[in-house]
Chain A
């Protein structure tokens, strides 16, 4: 019963936040609504005994990524850009309607046709009895997925270098007296 209540509240928070992201006129409101969705998802992670991922979700997503978004919005200036509050084109509305209605119809069909996963047995207990999820996650990360892990570190280095190069070139062309560029801290954040 408590499971159902937690799920209902968290799902409501997630969906409200998600709708807020795409409907809010002001990008700052979109970013704040995104935080709401991310917290709801963190709650659902806890409910599914993925405690480490819930913590990482809050720290990385809500703590770093959304702050980056807000940082860039403020850096560009919320009020000084017409494009930030522009409406949508007619073709965009048509494409979005087709995609949304089609996907919802597909989802509804799946729920009706394949009822076993929806109404089927409730999930089992913890993944490995007596082992915290962070232990088994670390074991899997550093044994089965160690090459993927190393490749991820290469990806992060590439992203940092890319952010620095992007920021450096624009500072170089437009501002000869190179002030420290905010996008540099963007790179280190990850």
Chain B
């Protein structure tokens, strides 16, 4: 039994779904950021699988960019969380409504 591209696509989709469910179900901002990472990794797996299947290196190049953007996102997100949690230690994602008019 061969491992075909479809198996990788299904695994990537499952990772994306698990990450999405976690993003909806958790209230801790840190764990929510980790769930975003899970979703990004599911998409990365899909890109690499298609890159191999179609014989096109562009898929791997996109994964490279996703890695960089994920790093930037984590840096800014964690900076925000640290500065908010310092001021209000018991904050959850529901309490972050300071920008609401």
Contact = CB atoms under 8 A, between A and B. Distances in A.
Contacts of B7: 7, 11, 118
Contacts of B48: 44-45, 48, 50, 53
Contact of A186 (B16, B69, B75): B75
Interface string B77-95: 0111111011101111010
B72 to A, nearest CB: 4
A27 B30 contact: yes
B6 to A, nearest CB: 3
Interface residues of chain A: helix, strand, loop or mixed (majority) = helix
Contacts of A163: 75-76, 79
Interface residues of B, number: 74
Contact of A57 (B17, B67, B74): B67
A179 interface: no
A156 B68 contact: yes
B27 to A, nearest CB: 5
Contacts of B94: 89
A53 B25 contact: no
Interface of B: 1-11, 13-22, 24-28, 30-31, 33-35, 37-38, 41, 44-45, 48-49, 51-53, 55-58, 60-61, 63-65, 67-76, 78-83, 85-87, 89-92, 94
Interface of A: 3-4, 7, 11, 14-15, 18-19, 21-22, 27, 30-31, 34, 37-38, 41, 44-45, 47-50, 52-53, 56-57, 60-61, 64-65, 68-69, 72-73, 75-76, 80-84, 86-89, 92-93, 95-96, 99-100, 103-104, 107, 111, 117-124, 127-128, 133, 136-137, 139-141, 144-145, 148, 152, 155-156, 158-160, 162-163, 166-167, 169-170, 174, 182-183, 186-187, 189-190
Given A47-B3, A88-B27, 10 more contacts: A21-B38, A44-B11, A72-B30, A72-B82, A83-B90, A88-B26, A95-B24, A123-B49, A174-B87, A187-B75
